[in-house]
Amino acid sequence: MRLICAKGAGGSFFVPCPEKNGGINMGLAELFILAVGLSMDAFAVSICKGVCLKKASLGQSAIVGAYFGIFQALMPIIGYFLGTGFADKIERYDHWVAFVLLLILGGKMFIESFKKEDVERDAACNDRDELKFTKMLVLAIATSIDALAVGITLAFLKVNIWAAASFIGVTTFIISAAGVKIGHVFGEKYTNKAELAGGLILMGIGVKIVLEHLGVINF
């Protein structure tokens, strides 16, 4: 199933795209994979929050998930409307732009997964006031910057940005809330693996977009 390809933010989220429509199509399964990839930074920080919290209650998990989920939903919307300003002008090359952006973002996450020290994780794990508003706000913004760039990519994909952003936000909320519990039970052993997986997912989506445009694959 394909998301509707109508330009702008209008259209129904689950209506198939016309065959002769311009732009790049994105299916629901691909959007889910993208949402999971974007949420991996937040997931890694959430694990650290779980390590630091004494109880890691359901309410605390929900608070952490809400911070990350809201900003992961907000940033793509901002990026989308920034991208729509020039999407039509470079429509012939939109697949390459999407590929490069996703490759850069995925590569960044991939490289960071091998680093022993991470500023975002240190900030999360060294703070005694774990759920303090200013601290959580900084972490939420820091982990959602990549979603801003992805929002620009979504402008080229011609998706319904409101539905897509909501989907990304809800996915991040669930994964981040789960990350708090996982961190509380198992510790930090999965933080690097999460970022590694997220990087590979974003790069994989970028490669798929180009291969589909070139006619190598057709999903």
Model confidence pLDDT, tens digit, residues 129-163? 668 888 889 889 888 888 888 888 888 777 889 99
**DSSP for 100-132, written as a single string:** HHHHHHHHHHHHHTT-S--HHHHHHHS-SSTT-
Residue carrying the six token digits 């303090």:
132
Q: What is the C-alpha to C-alpha distance for residues 150 and 153, in angstroms, rounded to an integer?
A: 5
Give the tokens for residue 80.
């989308």
Q: Domain extents for the chain? A: 31-213
Model confidence pLDDT, tens digit, residues 33-90? 889 988 988 888 888 888 778 778 899 999 999 999 999 999 999 999 988 877 666 6
Cα of first residue to Cα of last residue in the chain, in angstroms, is 10
**Range with the largest mean pLDDT of 50-54, 175-179, 214-218:** 175-179
Report residue 27: phi and psi, to 5°. Answer: -85, 165
Overall pTM surpassing 0.85 (yes/no):
no
Three-class SS state of 6 = coil
User: At 30, is the pLDDT very low, low, confident or very high (cuts 50, 70, 90)?
Assistant: confident
Burial 61-90 (b: 16+ CB within 10 A, else e): bebbbbbbbebbbbbbbebbeebbeebeee
Burial 181-201 (b: 16+ CB within 10 A, else e): bbbbeeeeebbbebbbbbbbb
Give the tokens for residue 133.
């508003």
